[in-house]
Amino acid sequence: MIIRSKAPLRLGLAGGGTDVSPYSDEFGGAILNATITKFAYATLIPLKQDQVIFKCYDIGQNYSFSDVDVFDMSDGKLTLLKGIHNRIKREFNIKKPLNYQLETFVEAPPGSGLGSSSTLVVAIVAAFAEWLGLPLGEYDIAQLAYSIEREDLGLSGGKQDQYAATFGGFNFMEFYADRVVVNPLRIKEKFIHELEFSMLQYYTGTSRLSSKIIDAQVTNVTSKSVKSIQAMHSLKELAYNMKEVLLRGKLNEIGNLLHESWISKKNMADEISNPVVDEIYNAAISNGALGGKISGAGGGGYMMFYVSSSAIYNVMNVLKEFGGLVERVNYYDKGVITWKAR
């Protein structure tokens, strides 16, 4: 028996960063995101011999372990995969050895800003749930994935990625100290088609260490930086505005909202932008983009732009001159799925 799973990556359209503690705990956060046709894949093959084998095809790393009960995390290698194994054993009080081969692949590099690491955790947790018959609903999978990353492994970050990958589609999410509320949005199909035509995503060719940027953001909130907190208040309000615009089909307003989000986001922490990112952004705006922002924590990875329909190909050509990858955006309306193969 072979268990496979795939979970979609996401674009954060508005409110990014307000899902990070302590801001979300104290003020409540709000984010509007949408999943796209890029995925994290996991294949889990149960083994009879006392082995755990990890094969990470996207990053070219393979490891084999014998007689594993709980992983020692001290070597710092493949911490996500080991952390998931340890938490599954502990959370569900599994006494017998778990022997398996786990193969993974993510269609975006680490540090891309599309939530790749968290999406992979969701895919793996879902594969374990399918294999072991674990009683996990959508909220359970997302919360467990979040807890593994943020609590068990101490990785900096927010909450949106795990919930986006689990639920899929266009969602307006609210984040509080004790709960997350996912509100699926029923956006008319014609609006989604027009959004896909007018949106571009651009991979800068550089990844960034999101934890440093998020740590700076957390420090600013903890130290009661008025500038940073006000910027996050503005980002949260823009998430509500973006929801209204999408539901009503007022797509021409998206560019302005993305631009306002970008200005507010840069005020959260100095590390969010840099001269290269600013140059790319300004070139796109000068050639017909109505607005844009960086995806994820910032500093590099993917950028997104909403472009006037008459200028879409001109902006594509301008972005190509910077040497990165220009892509059209295709949205995906499902969350994580699992299936069995033989």
What are the residue numbers of the active site? 161
Q: What's the CA gap between 293 and 295, in Å, rounded?
A: 6
Q: How far is CA 133 from CA 49, 137, 147, 198, in A?
A: 21, 12, 20, 42
Residues 6+ apart with CB under 8 A from 193: none
Residue with tokens 């902006």: 315
User: Among residues 206, 229, 205, which one has the least CA distance to residue 217?
Assistant: 229
Report how far Cα 57 is from the mean position of its chain's Cα atoms: 20
Q: Is 186 exposed, middle or buried (0-12, 13-18, 19+ CB in 10 A)?
A: exposed
